[in-house]
Structure 1
């Protein structure tokens, strides 16, 4: 991309350092140059800038912006004409207001999931974008890296190609262990969350994004229960739900951050079952971080016994780079066929699922009623 205009990262937390900066390095010239970083504190902003300079091999660190000085605050950063976009990785309840501030300043925006802390605020945010900023040609995407993983998209393509026949049921099981020493728990806004669901919202939307991407029909109804099993993970740490895709198929979703030990459950992952086979999706970090899809197709030939054919698809975990690269290509006017990465309305449906799971208490919730099909105004 042109070096005359660049991007900025707003937020200097763990994900900015461990995911966004390395992703920019992976993309190289396909990404806009990082020209500035912002955090509420000068120290964290300066630390991120120094880390970026080392990781990206910059001759000079990106400019440092922080609160407390009008010359270096967020407004000053957004006033720069040489920055055409921002990547936002701030606390969940703060992000919507910063998304609007950046759009109002004429910047393209990639904001981290979830799109908003709840459905109501998400609807208003998307309506404002659609009515005020989208007509101006500004691009806003929600960074949901699981939907961008090549293996997840390959799973979706396999299902649409009929490799397992017609989907008839599914299950998703995600088991996590969080203790008080976890780097994810120690972020102050996670320790005392001011948004529904705690880790269930922050991390659970990933699971729903995978289902949304791979399943051929939208999930329409949910009945479930939520609970708190570890007091320090308040307000909730576990959801169990039965889910339906209208008259098409049904399945179960188990989400927990309350596993008693750090060892992962062997049942962790996704299983999509069809009339002619099944497909699994899981990921592992050893010996290298990968997403793996295993497709088992039942082959039926007249006069021969049924047989199973297995296909394995494996891709390195690289969803953050994929979503950022797609964002910059969209800014450059490249219309990409296939998956519509980062659609705020689709990301809101992920939030709606978690919200329904938290509030159902066994009652049937209509997910379609929660989020209208269009939010044009």
Structure 2
């Protein structure tokens, strides 16, 4: 479709492996120079468009220098979930850890505004109704030197999802929750004096990413907007970077937790 000059928005994850991503990008770069109008290639990663994460990115500087990061994901992927039986999610290395995990890595990267440089991880396979693996515990380090932990269980009896960043002037936490009968995210900003600013944002990332994609198409089609650059939050490269982090974690576990550098794009 891209080769035919059509704008494309694809489902996440961007790829099943970094090798796939490199092949796809190489193919894209080989023909795009011959296309008069550059087609937009977007990945539907709604977490980068959720208002809670957009706001958290603005608030991160209020907590001073980052001290440490915790990402805790206790999922609810079981037979009652509509995605449980989808075959494609079971047909690539990483299973639901990769399929679901890109969301949580995207949220992390969105909030901190810094790339993950190295990881060390151990993965396990406990629930045999799920594709392997279904649990991961990882230590990671950002390029700015700050370290954190990423813990994910695909299926849990007590689901919860939390991102927390502790800083020298406070702490920032984003957690899955409900408000006014709607599902979404709660953003909590803790100041050094102990006060807490709490705001709830209903889910709207899917709507926002599609609105952005349509907006980019309109701008790209306008004669007055020649050379319009699509929103980088939905770029294929951003999606591939999320996969790169998880693939590095899987590689680390295969080598008994040895540190692995995350592939750069």
Taking structure 1 as the reference length, the TM-score comes to: 0.63
Kept after mapping to 2: 8 A contact 1:205/1:350? yes
Q: Which residue matches 1:180?
A: 79
Q: Which residue matches 1:264?
A: 159
Structure 1: 4+ residue segments shifted above 6 A: 334-339
The 3 A distance-change label for structure 1 pair 248 and 321 is: same
Q: Which residue matches 1:295?
A: 189
Kept after mapping to 2: 8 A contact 1:217/1:248? no
Q: Which residue matches 1:145?
A: 46
Q: Which residue matches 1:7?
A: none
How far 1:337 moved relative to its partner? 10
Aligned equivalents of 2:264, 2:185: Cα separation in 1: 30
CA-to-partner distance for each residue in 1:128-152, whole Å, 9 max, x for gaps? 2234237631101111001110110
Q: Which residue matches 1:344?
A: 236
Q: Which residue matches 1:211?
A: 108
Q: Say which of 20, 26, 50 aligns to 1:121.
A: 20
Aligned equivalents of 1:165, 1:321: Cα separation in 2: 32
Give runs of aligned pairs for residues 45-194 of structure 1, distance below 5 A.
102-133=1-32, 136-159=37-60, 162-190=61-89, 193-194=90-91
Would you say 1:279 and 2:172 are equivalent positions?
A: yes
Of the two, which has the highest radius of gyration?
1
How far 1:338 moved relative to its partner? 11
SS in 2 for 1:244: strand
Count of residue pairs the alignment pairs up: 253
Kept after mapping to 2: 8 A contact 1:196/1:355? no
RMSD: 2.1
Kept after mapping to 1: 8 A contact 2:212/2:231? no
Aligned equivalents of 2:185, 2:229: Cα separation in 1: 22
Q: Say which of 196, 199, 203 aligns to 2:93.
A: 196
Aligned equivalents of 1:168, 1:217: Cα separation in 2: 14
Taking structure 2 as the reference length, the TM-score comes to: 0.89
Q: Say which of 177, 189, 199 aligns to 1:313.
A: 199
Q: Which residue matches 1:356?
A: 248
Q: Which runs of 5+ in 1 are unaligned?
A: 1-101, 299-306, 373-377
Would you say 1:322 and 2:208 are equivalent positions?
A: yes
SS in 2 for 1:327: helix
CA-to-partner distance for each residue in 1:96-127, whole Å, 9 max, x for gaps? xxxxxx11232100101111110111112123
**Relative contact order higher in (CA < 8 Å, ≥ 6 apart):** 2
Aligned equivalents of 1:221, 1:121: Cα separation in 2: 21
Whichever structure has more strand as a proportion of its residues is 2
Aligned equivalents of 2:42, 2:144: Cα separation in 1: 31
